[in-house]
A and B are shown apart, each in its own frame.
Chain A
């Protein structure tokens, strides 16, 4: 009897998870479907779900009009560079906060998080002027630094949370065995926190990939990533939804594929320490 209830509950939970998952995924699915329609089919009312003549015309037009690979490469450099740089800076910071906390550690953590509460547009002009002075406008290096700084509080917070789950005694034992600070972080702490670091890297890579304020405002031609690629297909005077959907699908495809293959690590990392 108990087993039957468990099975029922399991089925219910599975069904609920699928429904929620499909609801969340539906806008992406709709975008992908729209990308294979004509412009007239894209705005048809009632909407056409699957019963339409599939066409690759929108992809051909987008490919012809835009240099997709250039935008893609910029996205990879900017998202990858900012994430890696962020992790390099955040690992020692999170280590110090987790294992050698001071009286002010919690205040510092809160202060770091508070920088995320400022609307980005509030610092647009100072950053823009700084970029002009430093010659960083429309450069990938500039965006790597800006996105790293924006995501740094989240990276530090996530790593801090993971590090806190690791018993300090293990590190103490390593020190007693003669490990230096560098060896302690590299060979003892990091391997134990790999799931946490992996999920932090993935999440911040996704955040940097999708960032659409600084990447639009600080770039023009050379450093424009896929967010600028999508923005170029949005029009207030003309219905180009099918082409916009094709551009969006091309922009999200790499990150969707990455997310699909790394979902195990992502889920493991995000639930790391949830059950004690």
Chain B
């Protein structure tokens, strides 16, 4: 009797299952970042204008990466639009996994996209993803603490100045750390930060023959400098701090300086969330004295169309709408200029309204000075600043960043970590046929 009822219930439940998908509905995979969530709120405007419905699949960044990578490599066809970054776009474009974004309308004005963004989202001159918002990195600092320290932040500081200022601003008794930086393992977290720091000390990931360069003195200089500075003036446990942890510390007034994504500027100057909103200044990311390369990265969250979709035309329509000048106007009208998606279009930075936003100019300067084709002072065979746009990079850099995080946690020396990084990367690159 029990078994029969259970069988009936199971059959009924299984029958309820459906797999139907609506033909006139776009399914978009995206990340849970503020600008993306805001866009979801305006989707009805697009639906009203075009009659095309939109379904959102919002996932955490790492889950999203795994999810869309699985789907695109197996041609699963689950998504009509994917939110991807500068790392994936050129690789996937070259593999033929993305629909080229050509034939965009004249009103869209594709030439208005910032050249650095357009370059980073293209392969062989073909645009494969449209930037929804872009970011570089810069220094955010407490103007009041800097003044108390009797120092003045230059527009373009050096690492040596940053270290000196951090030491002067540190006040352990009042729980103020001179500087907060990413130390968390992961190629997109601490791995990205130490890579751009190394760039600004003259280091590079690979030479022109794809030989790993961790055995070169520049890497040792960069890593040693970073560890020493953080031990002097950084927060305890910085080996596990990423973007969010540092944002939290800065917003609570526990950091004198924070060098991170330009998109953070709108968070730290928002009085609803930040206790230091009116005391924040901005400067370009630092370089080491004598090295003509700053430690700012370049990244964009962009919308791309997977080659497997049957709704490429509708998807292109959506991308044109979401990354258009009109969309920026729409957000500005409803939520103010400080909340528009930054870093994608030249016209935004020419707009007098946007120029009044305190961090706009430094954001633009940071983005414009980032060059993915020449990320270091020495020549490199790869494209990308905080990454090398090759499929093997994510796996290798994750492992390498774990070794570096172990140094930050005091578990091994700089020399040991670099030796391990060199051996591991050499092995992986050799196995990959480089």
Residues from chain B with a CB closer than 8 A to the CB of A91 are: 3
Is B180 engaged at the interface, CB distance under 8 Å to the other chain? no
Report the stretch among A136-144, A152-160, A173-181 that lies at the interface.
A136-144
Compute how far the CA of A137 lies from the CA of B71 in the bound complex, rounded to whole angstroms: 10
Interface size class of B (residues with CB under 8 A): 35 or more
- Residue contact B79 to A220, C-beta cutoff 8 Å: yes
- Residue contact B267 to A238, C-beta cutoff 8 Å: yes
* Interface residue from B34, B40, B242, B272 paired with A238 (Cβ < 8 Å): B34
- Residue contact B14 to A222, C-beta cutoff 8 Å: no
- Residue contact A239 to B248, C-beta cutoff 8 Å: yes
Residues from chain A with a CB closer than 8 A to the CB of B21 are: 138, 221-222
Closest to B1 in A: A186
Compute how far the CA of A16 lies from the CA of B167 in the bound complex, rounded to whole angstroms: 47
* Interface residue from B17, B60, B71 paired with A234 (Cβ < 8 Å): B60
Compute how far the CA of A142 lies from the CA of B172 in the bound complex, rounded to whole angstroms: 56
Is A135 engaged at the interface, CB distance under 8 Å to the other chain? yes
Closest to A126 in B: B74
Mask of B66-96 contacts with A, CB within 8 angstroms, 1/0: 1100110011111100000000000000000
- Residue contact A232 to B59, C-beta cutoff 8 Å: yes
Q: In the assembled complex, how far is the CB of residue A98 from the closest CB belonging to chain B, in whole angstroms?
A: 17
* Interface residue from B2, B14, B57, B242 paired with A224 (Cβ < 8 Å): B57
Is B6 engaged at the interface, CB distance under 8 Å to the other chain? yes
Q: A40-B272, A45-B252, A84-B6 are in contact. Are A235 and B14 (CB under 8 A)?
A: no
Report the stretch among B24-32, B100-108, B322-330, B400-408 that lies at the interface.
B24-32
- Residue contact B59 to A228, C-beta cutoff 8 Å: yes
Closest to A244 in B: B32
Which residues B1-57 have CB closer than 8 A to chain A?
1-4, 6-7, 9-10, 13-14, 16-21, 27, 29, 31-34, 37, 40, 55, 57
Residues from chain B with a CB closer than 8 A to the CB of A138 are: 19, 21, 78
Residues from chain A with a CB closer than 8 A to the CB of B3 are: 88, 91, 185-186, 190
Compute how far the CA of A172 lies from the CA of B338 in the bound complex, rounded to whole angstroms: 79
- Residue contact B57 to A128, C-beta cutoff 8 Å: no
Mask of A28-52 contacts with B, CB within 8 angstroms, 1/0: 0000000000011001110000000
Closest to B3 in A: A186
Mask of A43-65 contacts with B, CB within 8 angstroms, 1/0: 11100000000000000000001
Compute how far the CA of A136 lies from the CA of B61 in the bound complex, rounded to whole angstroms: 25
- Residue contact B251 to A216, C-beta cutoff 8 Å: no
Is A68 engaged at the interface, CB distance under 8 Å to the other chain? no
* Interface residue from A222, A234, A237 paired with B18 (Cβ < 8 Å): A222
- Residue contact B63 to A231, C-beta cutoff 8 Å: yes
Is A267 engaged at the interface, CB distance under 8 Å to the other chain? no
- Residue contact A144 to B244, C-beta cutoff 8 Å: no
- Residue contact B63 to A140, C-beta cutoff 8 Å: no
* Interface residue from A84, A131, A132, A221 paired with B57 (Cβ < 8 Å): A221
Is A207 engaged at the interface, CB distance under 8 Å to the other chain? no
Residues from chain A with a CB closer than 8 A to the CB of B17 are: 77, 81, 139-142, 144, 223
Residues from chain B with a CB closer than 8 A to the CB of A45 are: 248, 252, 254
Is B261 engaged at the interface, CB distance under 8 Å to the other chain? yes
* Interface residue from B67, B242, B264, B267 paired with A216 (Cβ < 8 Å): B67
Q: A88-B3, A141-B17 are in contact. Are A132 and B76 (CB under 8 A)?
A: yes
Is B282 engaged at the interface, CB distance under 8 Å to the other chain? no
Q: In the assembled complex, how far is the CB of residue A163 from the closest CB belonging to chain B, in whole angstroms?
A: 14
- Residue contact B74 to A77, C-beta cutoff 8 Å: no
* Interface residue from A88, A144, A220 paired with B29 (Cβ < 8 Å): A220
Compute how far the CA of A47 lies from the CA of B3 in the bound complex, rounded to whole angstroms: 51
Is A246 engaged at the interface, CB distance under 8 Å to the other chain? no
Q: A45-B254, A217-B70 are in contact. Are A141 and B32 (CB under 8 A)?
A: no
Residues from chain B with a CB closer than 8 A to the CB of A140 are: 16-18
Q: In the assembled complex, how far is the CB of residue A270 from the closest CB belonging to chain B, in whole angstroms?
A: 20
Is B298 engaged at the interface, CB distance under 8 Å to the other chain? no
Q: A216-B59, A220-B57 are in contact. Are A236 and B14 (CB under 8 A)?
A: no
Is B247 engaged at the interface, CB distance under 8 Å to the other chain? yes
Compute how far the CA of A228 lies from the CA of B60 in the bound complex, rounded to whole angstroms: 10
Q: A216-B67, A238-B33 are in contact. Are A136 and B248 (CB under 8 A)?
A: no
Is A233 engaged at the interface, CB distance under 8 Å to the other chain? yes
Residues from chain A with a CB closer than 8 A to the CB of B129 are: none
Compute how far the CA of A65 lies from the CA of B251 in the bound complex, rounded to whole angstroms: 26
Residues from chain A with a CB closer than 8 A to the CB of B189 are: 236
Is A129 engaged at the interface, CB distance under 8 Å to the other chain? yes
Q: A132-B75, A221-B27, A237-B33 are in contact. List 16 more A-B contacts (CB 8 A).
A: A77-B13, A128-B71, A129-B74, A132-B74, A139-B17, A139-B19, A142-B17, A217-B67, A232-B58, A234-B32, A235-B31, A235-B32, A236-B61, A238-B33, A238-B267, A239-B251
13 CB-based A-B contacts, threshold 8 Å: A44-B252, A88-B3, A125-B74, A128-B76, A132-B77, A140-B17, A141-B14, A142-B19, A144-B14, A223-B19, A228-B59, A236-B189, A237-B263
